[in-house]
Structure 1
Amino acid sequence: MRFISQTSSDGVTEQLFTLGELPGVLWTPDDRAGTRPLILMGHGGGQHKKAPGVVARALRLVTEGGFAVVAVDAPNHGDRPKTEEFARVVAGLRAGVTAGEDIAPHLAAMHTLLAEQAVPEWQAVVTAVQELDFVGAGPAGYCGMSMGCGLGVPFVAAEPRIRAAVLGLLGVHGLAETAARITVPVRFLLQWDDDRVPRAQGLALFDALASADKTLHANPGKHEEVPEFETGSAVRFLTRHLGQATVS
């Protein structure tokens, strides 16, 4: 893990890094003595590790929850090269949108392709960040919506260090069996008038989760109209299940 730059603003330290060829960013409190829970954050499709929504949520997780937050560019996103296979999948998705088809199978194909690479990469990121003395090998959580949910479901199902997850804005297509392996507490977000994900598909993904402790948060509005107060709710949920920093 090689740090490239470090800046500080409003009590939060931001460090850009590379882990091998994987570019990422780590946010921590300026006064970071001791250890703290880690949140891995997945971004949406077509976005990157420092998309405005990712940064805004990360800053609140750090300032309000005392967490360390890490985000990396998903495969074929951000500063990472695009593969021909990914280009073919995206072309099929766009053709489906133009033709008015159900795009759920196209999205599932894209998420499956990306998750095969993203899951082991994210596991390596958690290992590397938890080796830092100001983070430590404590509990970890995951937060990801839309594509971040499509990649997050297989990641949470495969990674025992993840103790709680915030997921949502995605349907069940291609994820039912994987979701059934998730047993950690989950907070699931659904937009009641989502213009990209049919309501029934989102409800079916929530239902497929095997977690005994899971909560559905449904709000009126389209896919990108998630109320701001849901971020605060997510901070409280993750704090409740992961705890807070331990001052040395």
Structure 2
Amino acid sequence: MHTLHITSTTTVDGVVQREFTVGDLTGALWSAADVAGPAPLVLLGHGGGTHRTAPAMVGRARRLVVDGGLVAASLDAPGHGGRPRTAYDERETDAMQEAMEAGEPVGPIVVRYNGVISEQAVPEWRTVLDALLQLPDVDGPVGYYGINMGTAVGVPLIVAEPRIRAAVLGQFWPDTLVPLARRITVPIEFDLQWDDQHIDRNAGLELFDAFASTEKTLHANAGRHKELPRFEADSAVRFFVRHLRAGSL
């Protein structure tokens, strides 16, 4: 069993943010300052090129804690945040940048690179989940919330991890994820940008359709890839409260 070590603690407006390590993995955990008992946990998968405490992660975590009474945790993906970058990471990020500058499709590169990241990230998340569930203020059931690269990691993680009982996903290509999505039956909320310049809407619909969940909801919004409305984070909180907190609406 790997031990979780708290490296720093800060409190802002009633939310405690704890930076932690598990071995050489770097993560962050958010919980209420006035903890009355253990709360269900939501794992946050960040997008490509960001990190565990990127603004989107902090914003989503605070909503989950303040509005949902939940606990949230994020983990730096391989080659991101506090994790070392390899020569392979540099080559792939350079290739993505060159494709975008040339107006060429970036999807094949992202799918390939994120697939490599997910192979390493899935067992890492499972190790960290074991450690998090040993904390006195963290309990199951567990949810997963990850858009973009967070979905590339989240889909195989949900397949591998039976403790995850509900997930918010979206904005990723179906190429390698459809066979895995067909094995997923937990409730799903799926975000799709109707005018995404990178992911064709039919590709997004193909991935949504592949989930075998009997309860799954598609949230399609007008806008481009990085224009996901912030109110979708509020919807995600309600979704996780409904599925992780027994007796809640």
Quick one: which amino acid aligns to residue 222 of structure 1?
Answer: R
- Which residue is 1:194 aligned to? 196
Question: What are structure 1's unaligned runs of at least 5 residues?
Answer: none
Query: RMSD value over aligned CA atoms?
Result: 1.4
Counterpart Cα distance in 1 of 2:208 and 2:61: 24
Partner of 1:5: 8
Residues in 2 aligned to 1:99 and 1:73: alpha-carbon distance in whole angstroms:
29
- Kindly state the Cα deviation for residue 99 of structure 1 after the two structures are TM-superposed: 4.1
Q: 5+ residue gaps in structure 2?
A: none
Match of 1:174 in 2: 176
Task: In structure 2, give the amino acid aligned to 1:143.
Answer: Y
Partner Cα distance (2:246, 2:70) in 1: 7
Q: What one-letter code is carried by the residue in structure 2 that aligns with 1:139?
A: P
Question: Does the residue aligned with 1:204 lie in a helix, a strand or coil?
Answer: helix
1:244 offset after TM fit, Å?
A: 6.2
User: Within 2, Cα distance between the matches of 1:39 and 1:146?
Assistant: 17
- Counterpart code for 2:57: V
2:136 corresponds to which of 124, 133, 139: 133
Task: Indicate yes or no: 2:90 matched with 1:87.
Answer: yes
Q: TM-score, normalised by structure 1?
A: 0.94
- The share of aligned pairs that are identical, in percent, is 50
| Cα distance in 1 for residues equivalent to 2:74 and 2:68 | 17
Cα distance change of structure 1 residues 180 and 189 upon mapping to structure 2, 3 Å threshold = same
Q: 1:118 aligns with which of 116, 121, 135?
A: 121
Question: After superposition, what is the alpha-carbon deviation per residue over 1:200-247, rounded to whole angstroms, capped at 9, x for unaligned?
Answer: 1111110111111100000111111112221111101111111169xx
* From 34, 56, 80, the counterpart of 1:53: 56
Q: Following the alignment from structure 1 to structure 2, what is the Cα–Cα distance between the partners of residues 134 and 186?
A: 26
The size of the alignment, in residue pairs, is: 244
**Using the alignment, how far apart are the partners of 1:143 and 1:24 within structure 2?**
15
Task: Indicate which of 97, 101, 106 corresponds to 2:104.
Answer: 101
Cα distance between partner residues in 1 of 2:119 and 2:230:
32
Q: CA deviation at 1:100?
A: 3.5
